[in-house]
Amino acid sequence: AAKAAGRRQWCRFQPELHTGMLESRALSAQLEEAVRSDEFRLHYQPIVELADDRIVAMEALARWPTRRHGVVLPERFITLAEETGHIVQLGAWVLQRATADLAAWRRSGDWPTPPYVSVNVSARQLHDGGFVAGVRAALESAQLPGEALVLELTESVLMGRHDQVEADLRALKDLGVRLAIDDFGTGYSSLSYLRELPIDVIKIDKSFVRGIARNQQDLRLLEGIIRITDTFGVQLIAEGIETAQQRDLLIEIGCGFGQGYLFSKPVAPGEAERLLVASNDR
């Protein structure tokens, strides 16, 4: 009976699955070609100190310019790259590109406080044995100290973690690299990570930031989170700040840093450098 049911299901879902697979297989082939022929680009979004709008860092965000579909955004290709495993090569490229860009920016001026770069990392990358070596190589070839780099991890990285991942996170810490939890406040993000893992930064998800301007409970909850993270010496960055009202509330409850369209959208590397220089020259 189970077999019959299984077969019935298979028959029912097979056509849909098939087109889906064809589409993603075609896309997957294009993705592989794109990684090989260096078609990806990085855009950068400033991370600012909320008190004075000064840019302290740039987050690298991958972009895929294509002739047929225009610029493809990460939500479309990152998941696919994770499924196919191409994220390992793509992620290695992102690390190299982002550290090289930051090194060039740092060389182009005198920085009272040198900016850092923040790079998103998928679970699959961390589970690949070569990740720590790749980070070390990227830093070395850019001649940057580990302190110049923040790695943004999501709960999917932390939840499925095993001893090896934990050892790798410690090895990254030994290089001076800082670790951030991205999209905090969505999914299963838990404050217990703070106790168990060497986390330096928490990035509050934009849905949460939207919430605080609308309801007191979200605001009070975030206030509590800030008090806890302060105790742990963890830095807080609010994502997706779009209005001055959101920014002001965040400052009021003691959130130190932010990111969002209010300050700047993600921009091409040349524009990112101009923004950094302008922010530093004030």
- Nearer to Mg ion by Cβ, of 101 and 183: the residue is 183
Which residues within the stretch 103-162 sit at the binding site for ligand C2E (CB under 6 A)? 120-122, 152
Residues 6+ apart with CB under 8 A from 135: 95, 149, 151, 172, 175, 177
85 vs 109, beta carbon nearer ligand C2E? 85
Among 106, 161, 178, 206, which residue interacts with ligand C2E (rule: CB under 6 A)? Answer: 206
3-state DSSP assignment of residue 166? helix
Beta bridge partners of 48: 55, 258
Q: Give which of Mg ion, ligand C2E, none residue 135 binds (C-beta under 5 to 8 Å, depending on kind).
A: none
| Least gap, CB of 260 to Mg ion (angstroms) | 11
- Which residues of this chain interact with Mg ion, rule CB under 5 A? 120, 152, 182-183, 239
**Alpha-carbon distance values, 202 to 4, 113, 114, 237 (Å):** 49, 21, 21, 6
Residue 240 interacting with ligand C2E (CB under 6 A): yes
- CA distances for 91 relative to 86, 87, 143, 160, 229, angstroms: 8, 5, 19, 19, 29
The reply to whether 38 sits near ligand C2E by the rule CB under 6 A is no
Q: Which is nearer to ligand C2E, 17 or 73 (CB)?
A: 73
**Are the beta carbons of 229 and 236 closer than 8 angstroms?**
yes
Of 74, 134, 198, 254, the one binding ligand C2E by CB under 6 A: 74
| Cβ count near 267 (within 10 Å) | 17
Three-class SS state of 190: coil
Residue numbers at the binding site for ligand C2E (CB under 6 A): 45, 61-62, 73-75, 78, 91, 94, 120-122, 152, 182-183, 206, 239-242, 259-261, 266
